[in-house]
Structure 1
């Protein structure tokens, strides 16, 4: 029995679901930016059906914009905001017994470093070793880190655009029917394969996603920092009841 899952997508609608099914996926993890976990969970449940399991996740932006470290958590019971120190986020994931994945390690200024991976080895359950936004040296470095530190691997489309969904997936050698079984497979190091297309379609995806990355880090960043007001996932947002006010980096 093989369970095929795209472990990290940012977009979700009917077209995304249909694309995932055409790609032969059994599941996707939906983890959009700057969206509170209860909303993510509700939307994931809306689009989940007998043919495609949609699991909710939260990619938390720790630290300030110029040195933010992204961490993907699955199985949260309580919301965790962005813009808190990495150590605070990891402690909160431990407290909630969440499954912790490391997307795009050592990529630009948005990722965990080798030192971070070593420091939080007991909390981290898997490291991404292929990401379509990466160039080959980035993916080789990610694979090297996972192998050197003996951390199980995963991959994802990291799709910010619907067309990217399913271009990479992780295939587990296990019968998985829901979130609990998926988390157990990650945490227990169940045998898996990292699957991706390295042909022209992959490079078209890379070009499109990198173009979107430029947009994210220019006008969209200015809008979020200065024009849009308090983000729903900002530590000072009323939804967090002041629990993270003393550690907010902004």
Structure 2
């Protein structure tokens, strides 16, 4: 028996849950942008059911907006803000013994490159080898990195839009019935298959998601969301008790 998990979605609603069930998924990993961990956990719990497990996670934006690395962390016990140095974030994940996944490796200015992957090989638990936002050369490069570094693979829909959920998933050869089960499967390198549709639906998803990407990377939105110091995942927000004030990049 295999358990099918979309390992990274950005949206969560009744429509998303229905879409996930239609795609035959057993679980999704919910990691919205710029949302604090307690809120993510609360929403994940509200939408979880016997039919679909929703697992909370954080995709942390490290570094500055123009030169950032995204890291997907599961199993966090304490919140970690965005816009702190990459090295500081990785040290915090180590301290919390979090499960660390690498989305869209070596892509543009938002990803870990080969040097980063080699440096933090002991911390990283899996690397994404297919992302429907990417074109074939990007996904080939990701697979090459995983193979060269002998890192376990995963895939996801990376859905920012409900229609994208389930277009790619990771099928584990082990029961995944809780958050703890998934963390164990990822950390122990449990056998899995990367499954995705490479037909019309995949390319329609790519087009729609890339259109959304253009919107979310406008400077006006960045300025409004992150640089005031009062947003939920800003490192100087009161919720972090000053722990990250000295490393905030904004």
**TM-score grouping bracket, smaller chain normalisation:** over 0.9
Unaligned segments of structure 1, at least 5 residues: none
Larger mean Cα displacement after TM superposition, 217-226 or 16-25: 217-226
Q: Distance in 1 between matches of 2:84 and 2:229?
A: 18
Q: Distance in 1 between matches of 2:214 and 2:222?
A: 10
TM-score w.r.t. length of structure 1: 0.98
1:229 deviation in Å? 6.0
Could you list the structure 1 runs, at least 4 aligned residues long, displaced by more than 2 angstroms after superposition: 219-226
TM-score w.r.t. length of structure 2: 0.98
Aligned residue number for residue 221 of structure 1: 222
Q: Distance in 1 between matches of 2:44 and 2:110?
A: 25
Correspondence list, 1:229-248, <5 A = 230-248=230-248
Q: Distance in 1 between matches of 2:225 and 2:195?
A: 34
Q: Cα RMSD (Å) of the superposition?
A: 1.0
| SS of match in other structure, 2:21 | helix
Unaligned segments of structure 2, at least 5 residues: none
Aligned residue number for residue 32 of structure 1: 32
Checking the alignment, whether the CA contact within 8 Å between 2:63 and 2:84 is kept in structure 1 is yes
Q: Distance in 2 between matches of 1:128 and 1:206?
A: 16
1:176 deviation in Å? 1.6
Correspondence list, 1:69-218, <5 A = 69-218=69-218
Task: Give the number of equivalent residue pairs.
Answer: 249
Checking the alignment, whether the CA contact within 8 Å between 2:8 and 2:156 is kept in structure 1 is yes
Q: Distance in 1 between matches of 2:31 and 2:174?
A: 23
| SS of match in other structure, 1:65 | coil
Q: Distance in 2 between matches of 1:45 and 1:115?
A: 37
